């Protein structure tokens, strides 16, 4: 060592050989909430809720709202707490899951940029109409799954759960499930007022804005997974 050279401090490796300074930054407590609110986007599902429940009584509508909000919370909480165990059971690496999940989020974002709910499919509206006409509850399917929550939501929670380093990080993710459940409850309870205030155009603009935010987050998640799979991508090149 040169006499006048200051030795570089040693950085203890974190999990899987990743420096500790990196793993601390990995768990950004704000990004999961932004991603969840962008994907779930209860305001964007309001037109579907109004359409499916237009023949419901006030009591049936309140029951549908409660079940939808609670189911959204359950999907998010279970994904955060058990999602990693499930992908480990199937032998899937988190890097591969990040690339696949990021791709799924990007597809959902593109759907939102076309002013459609992130998790919707062409047949969801027809299915909801048939179930409503038959008197069946549409609170869980298709209103909550897949219109509010679905594969993109589950993937997001698993990816961010992998970045947790303390039990309270997981508790925060579960708490975000409560936030989404409350947001769903409030949006559906005020569905009539939201529809009158924003109109279809306003809801479409908000959905597209959320889609743009989600697309940026999706690219970031995919890039992180690709760097883990192909470390050469992180090489800064010659200086």
Its domain, for residue 124, covers 29-229
The answer to whether residue 19 scores a pLDDT higher than 60 is no
pLDDT at 123: 63
Mean pLDDT confidence for 130-155: 80
Residue 68 lies in a domain: yes
Question: Residue 112 falls within a domain, yes or no?
Answer: yes
Mean pLDDT of 30-56: 90
Percent of the chain with pLDDT over 90: 41
Q: How far apart are CA 46 and CA 42, in angstroms?
A: 6
Rounded to the nearest integer, the mean pLDDT of the chain is 82
Q: Is the pLDDT of residue 13 over 70?
A: no
Q: Is residue 76 part of a domain?
A: yes
24 falls within a domain: no
Q: What confidence tens digit (pLDDT) does each residue in 177-200 have? A: 999 999 999 999 999 999 899 888
58 domain residue, yes or no: yes
Q: What is the pTM of this model?
A: 0.76
Residue 177 lies in a domain: yes
- Whether 17 is in a domain gets the answer no
Angle at 98 between CA 16 and CA 14, to 5 degrees: 20
Q: Is residue 146 part of a domain?
A: yes
Q: What is the pLDDT, as a whole number, of residue 16?
A: 44
Question: Quick one: 9 exposed, middle or buried, by C-beta within 10 A (0-12, 13-18, 19+)?
Answer: exposed
pLDDT tens per residue across span 65-98: 999 999 999 999 999 999 999 998 999 888 999 9
pLDDT per position as a tens digit, 105-137: 899 889 888 877 766 666 666 666 666 665 557
Number of domains in the chain: 1
d(CA 124, CA 45): 12
């Amino acid at each position: 060592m040169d006499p006048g050279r200051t030795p570089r401090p040693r950085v203890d490796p974190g999990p899987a050989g990743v420096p500790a300074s990196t793993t601390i930054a990995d768990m950004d407590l704000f990004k999961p909430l932004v991603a969840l609110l962008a994907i779930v986007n209860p305001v964007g599902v309001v037109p579907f809720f109004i359409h499916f429940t237009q023949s419901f009584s006030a009591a049936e509508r309140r029951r549908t709202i409660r079940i939808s909000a609670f189911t959204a919370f359950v999907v998010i909480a279970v994904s955060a707490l058990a999602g990693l165990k499930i992908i480990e059971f199937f032998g899937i690496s988190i890097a591969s899951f990040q690339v696949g999940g990021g791709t799924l989020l990007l597809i959902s974002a593109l759907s939102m940029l076309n002013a459609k709910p992130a998790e919707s499919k062409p047949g969801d509206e027809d299915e909801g109409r048939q179930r409503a006409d038959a008197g069946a509850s549409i609170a869980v399917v298709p209103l909550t799954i897949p219109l509010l929550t679905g594969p993109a939501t589950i993937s997001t929670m698993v990816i961010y759960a992998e970045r947790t380093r303390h039990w309270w990080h997981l508790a925060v993710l579960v708490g975000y499930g409560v936030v989404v459940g409350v947001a769903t409850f409030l949006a559906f309870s005020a569905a009539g007022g939201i529809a009158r205030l924003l109109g279809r155009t306003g809801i479409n603009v908000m959905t597209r804005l959320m889609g743009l935010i989600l697309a940026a987050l999706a690219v970031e998640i995919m890039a992180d997974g690709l760097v883990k799979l192909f470390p050469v991508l992180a090489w800064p090149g010659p200086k």
